[in-house]
Amino acid sequence: MKALSIQQPWAWLIVNGYKDVENRDWPTKVRGWVAVHAGKKYDAAGAAWVRRTFPGIQLPREFASGAVVGIVRITDCVTAYASPWFQGHYGFVLYDAAPCDPVPARGQLGFFDVPLPAPLGASVEPTE
């Protein structure tokens, strides 16, 4: 399965259904299910922005890192999007996010392949 490494708290926000678009400086043609990998870096300024902008979202005190933390379906890549989460040159539009218990994995830049244990890997449609 393809995976995308994302800093925390953004990875947590995606797999828990809050963040509906992933901002990037580059476009993608990838569509379908991808694993969300939580990178080892933590975006403290981003977490502060989330707390100010979305006070109703209760962020956890600790975040998993260096692991696959869920899956999400990419349905489009856009340059404009009506979402408060869109702030990039390109946005990967996200649907059907679901968290999972952390599966340790090494992250990489861009999309990369990651083996997932059943039932997580078996519960999604193949990435096209």
Residue 106: is its pLDDT beyond 90? no
pLDDT of res. 116: 67
User: Tokens 């999604």 identify what position?
Assistant: 124
pLDDT in tens, 21-55: 999 999 999 999 999 999 999 999 999 999 999 99
Full set of structural domains in the chain with CATH? 2-123 (2.30.130.30)
Residue count of the chain, please give it: 128
Taking the C-alpha atoms of 119, 122, 127 and 128 in order, what is their torsion angle to the nearest 10 degrees? -170
pLDDT band of residue 127 (cuts 50, 70, 90) is very low
CA-wise closest residue to 26 among 88, 104, 105, 68: 88
pLDDT at 120: 54
